[in-house]
Amino acid sequence: MKILVLLKQTFDTEESILIENGEISEEGVKFIINPYDEYAVEEAVTLKEEHGGEVTAISLGPDRVQEALRTSLAMGVDKAIHINDEELFGDELKIAKVLAAVIKDQEFDIILGGYMAVDDGSAQVGPRVAEELDIPHLSTVVNLKIEDNKAIVDRDVEGNTEKIEVELPVLITAQQGLNEPRYPALTSIMKAKRKPYVEIEEDDIQLPEGLASKTELVEQFLPPKKEGGKILEGEITNQVKEVVQLLKIKEKVV
């Protein structure tokens, strides 16, 4: 079985976000595998252990992404592909088209990724990649089995569970609860250094002519600090009038 994993590197969820000159500061920041993608890596390695085959992790990003890919190799991934070219970075549409262009040169039965990235929360890249490849996709998966060239899954649907069967190939995005990611042993970390690690640039793949992001980041800022609440007193009718005035004059929402 040929398994691909879409992987993104994100801020450690314990890190504080600092903005300097309109940019998020990365100085001294710890980066990790996006937690949802970590479920995808674990599931891919588990499927390989059950059915045999090979797992390849693919990630797009700057030099620091190598750390996340090396971690996935230590977890049991067999090969890493690092798309390391600033000309290929962009919004979800551009990223999906770049990933799909790379994947078209790979053999695969199943593609796994995280439901969303904890830094932007768009949950778009996985489904977009599936559309580019013209294969079905299932999101927010909490249970997965492969039988007779079919994926049998349970999906989290707003607190309920939906059961679906689909023919391979398919793209699946992992929800929290799918598994418990393993911690790599020291021996696995050492072995990971000898596993194939491929870097790809723009000239190595065929992309649609004129490919560009459709969205532009205009400004970044932190939300205002929360202030203490206001306790209203007096008759209910007067409190209601005061609330309306506060919403209209101070908060400017009505």
Question: What is the per-residue pLDDT across 44-57, written as a single tens digit (0 to 9) for each?
Answer: 999 999 999 999 99
Residue 220 has pLDDT above 90, yes or no: no
Q: Which pTM value belongs to this model?
A: 0.86
User: Do the domain assignments include residue 217?
Assistant: no
Question: What is the per-residue pLDDT across 24-33, written as a single tens digit (0 to 9) for each?
Answer: 888 888 999 9
User: Do 164 and 100 reside in the same domain of the chain?
Assistant: yes
Question: What is the per-residue pLDDT across 70-92, written as a single tens digit (0 to 9) for each?
Answer: 999 999 999 999 999 999 999 99
User: Do 116 and 228 reside in the same domain of the chain?
Assistant: no
What is the number of alpha carbons within 13 Å of residue 134 lying toward its C-beta? 1
Residue 61 gets the label, from left (phi > 0), alpha (psi -120 to 50) or beta, of: left
With beta carbons less than 8 A apart as the criterion, state whether 207 and 102 touch.
no
Q: Count of domains in the chain? A: 2
User: Do the domain assignments include residue 48?
Assistant: yes
User: Do 113 and 229 reside in the same domain of the chain?
Assistant: no
Domain that includes residue 245, residue range:
224-254
Residue 148 burial by CB count (10 A; 0-12/13-18/19+): exposed, middle or buried? Answer: exposed
User: Do the domain assignments include residue 147?
Assistant: yes
User: Do 71 and 126 reside in the same domain of the chain?
Assistant: yes
